[in-house]
Amino acid sequence: MKQNNKQAHKFGMVIDLDKCTGCGSCMVACMSENNVPVKEDESDKKDSITWMRVYKLNNNKPFPETEICYLPRPCQHCSGKGDHGHSPCVSVCPATATDYDYSTGIVSQIYTRCFGCRYCMGACPYHARYFNWWDPKWPDGMESYLSPNVSPRMRGVVEKCSFCFHRYQLAKEQVYYDGEERIEDEAAYQTACTQACPAGAIVFGDLNNPDHQVTQIVKPNPHPEHDNHDVVGKSRNPKVFRLLERLGTNTKIYYMSERKWVRKLGDNYLDGEWEKADNHHGSSHG
């Protein structure tokens, strides 16, 4: 099934970095929703499993011109070059443990199929994937708070953000139960991080549905870019950008900021490239 046909969803997110306060609610909501375990020491961030991770960015200027900004990073759910569903991780998985769902645009992860080769982690440009180096442990009693909607993972498998796929499944069941065929209502399916964000910085919805807020903010261009045919779905909102957009990974997480320096950090620009990219949007606000 092609993902741009009328029946398919294309779930995506836009995060307003000017609203994000770096409070960490999204990270904890995600851990709690998805049975992510906690180790005694989580300060080695390379092996600390955080499906949703909030990075702290700064403009690298001395006092008092310093500015900081927080950037929440879930799995970017790449649609791959040309929007064909060949995400970097899906393309390299030898076990079909991770796959691209054309009907939702969600990159899945099937823990019991994964045998831990970690090719996907190498392929992911966003460090969104995490490897379980140890079996998860919960101290006495804490297992009681685990949710049956998401399987806990064993050591030796890779895990990542699933856009709270179990919530999609529950919403779909509800829709079928109500005698409808398709999730149309924005509120019916929301990720845990979106729901938790106290600042309302995260907007989640179906990028194929023009009524959804995410589509209205992002205004994705359905056509490939003229100068780079790999890039599809670029935002027509000058304040909105994607991470490493020019790679053509076509991520479905969009970021929004009024601040130029923040938008510039979204990609690695050579001298002069940023000005061109910024003007390409036809705007130089910031």
Contact residues for other proteins, defined by CB under 8 A: 18-19, 21-25, 27-29, 31-33, 35, 38, 40-45, 48, 50, 54, 56, 58, 60-64, 66-70, 112, 115-116, 135-136, 138-148, 151-156, 192, 195-201
Strand partners, 99: none
Strands (E) in 115-266, as ranges, are 130-131, 158-159, 202-206, 240-241, 253-256
CB nearer to other proteins: pick between 1 and 142: 142
CB nearer to other proteins: pick between 102 and 165: 165
As measured in angstroms, the least distance from the Cβ of 125 to other proteins is: 22
CB nearer to other proteins: pick between 38 and 244: 38
CB 76 within 8 A of CB 90: no
Strand partners, 15: 202, 255
Helices (DSSP H) in the chain: which residue ranges?
Answer: 25-33, 88-92, 119-123, 165-177, 192-196, 213-218, 260-264, 273-280
As measured in angstroms, the least distance from the Cβ of 41 to other proteins is: 6
Q: Whats the size of the chain, residue-wise? A: 286
CB nearer to other proteins: pick between 137 and 236: 137
Task: Give, in order, the Cα–Cα distances in Å from 283 to each of 210, 217, 218, 240, 260.
Answer: 24, 16, 15, 11, 11
As measured in angstroms, the least distance from the Cβ of 175 to other proteins is: 16
CB nearer to other proteins: pick between 17 and 90: 17
As measured in angstroms, the least distance from the Cβ of 186 to other proteins is: 14
